[in-house]
Amino acid sequence: MRLTALALFTLAGLAHAQPPIHSESTSTVDLTTAADGSQTVEIRNISYEVTERLLLRKTTRSKQVLGEIGMEATITLDAWPLDEDPRHKPQYSLTVAGADGQVIDKALFVVARGLEETEWWSVYKLDSGQHLFDTYVPLLNFSISRETVTTRYAGFEVPPDDTKDVRLKPPSVVGVLTYASEDRIIREALLICEDPKQAQLLRSYADTTRTIAFVDGALKLSFSRNYPSPPNAVEVRIPVLRDDLDLVHAQLPLRMHLAKLASR
């Protein structure tokens, strides 16, 4: 008996076919009322997502007293190889305090960490769950090449006054600009203001809004005072040259400068 090429291909596929995988999880919501009349809502949401290599299960748990600012919330991301039964131990499991988590470019997992009034995000490598960096502006993704898609990411971390990172403790520190690929940090640059009062204002979570954009081959980091104060915008431009931050040719206001940040 002679077999056609299509039949041979089909038989080969059947010989290597994986058994079907099935998994289901239950989302829940609970609303309770205390003796003082306050109401608390607890929610657990579970969702699945696949990439080319991974099966992902995201579990969001939150607890909030209605009418009050802030909440308790965690995000758990479990990841398995795509052909692995999710009843088995995951390749990795990541749990972090946060309100929500999103897969970006099928390469990163970004968790919204701001559970009270300050918005900030933590960025993780999707293939391993390893933490890359934190940012107090929404994560920026952009391509540094017009000919091919070469995606890079940028963020800006603003240290709290009680930071435990000794590199960020000096009062002149404004924050850390991070330039990264999907699998590593390429450059961290420390933004410094020689006027401590100005540095404190630029660091303020309540008084200043920060934005970041990629414009004409450069990262543009902007600071603006919040209403009712006048904007008094401050702008920093850092060229991206040969897949790195060109700190030498950065454009900064007087009494401000950038420095390469030493490793932790």
| Residue 199: C-alpha distances to residues 170, 193, 220 (Å) | 10, 5, 18
pLDDT in tens, 142-168: 999 887 789 999 999 999 988 999 989
pLDDT of residue 43: 94
The gap from C-alpha 77 to its chain's centroid, in whole angstroms, comes to 14
- Residue ranges covered by each domain of the chain: 24-129, 136-264
Q: What is the mean pLDDT of residues 97-125?
A: 93
| Residue 54: C-alpha distances to residues 24, 26, 51, 181, 228 (Å) | 17, 21, 5, 19, 48
pLDDT in tens, 88-108: 999 999 999 999 999 999 999
Query: 64-80: b or e for each residue (b if 16 or more CB lie within 10 Å)?
Result: beeeeeeeebbbebbbb
Between residues 117 and 80, the one the model is more confident about: 80
What's the pTM value of the predicted model, to 2 decimals? 0.87
Triad 256, 217, 185: Cα angle to 5°? 70
Residue length of the chain = 264
Beta-bridge partner residues of 78: 57, 93
Q: What is the mean pLDDT of the chain?
A: 89
CB 23 within 8 A of CB 48: yes
Position 68: which residue type? E
CB 105 within 8 A of CB 182: yes
Supply the DSSP symbol for 167: G
Q: What is the mean pLDDT of residues 174-203?
A: 96
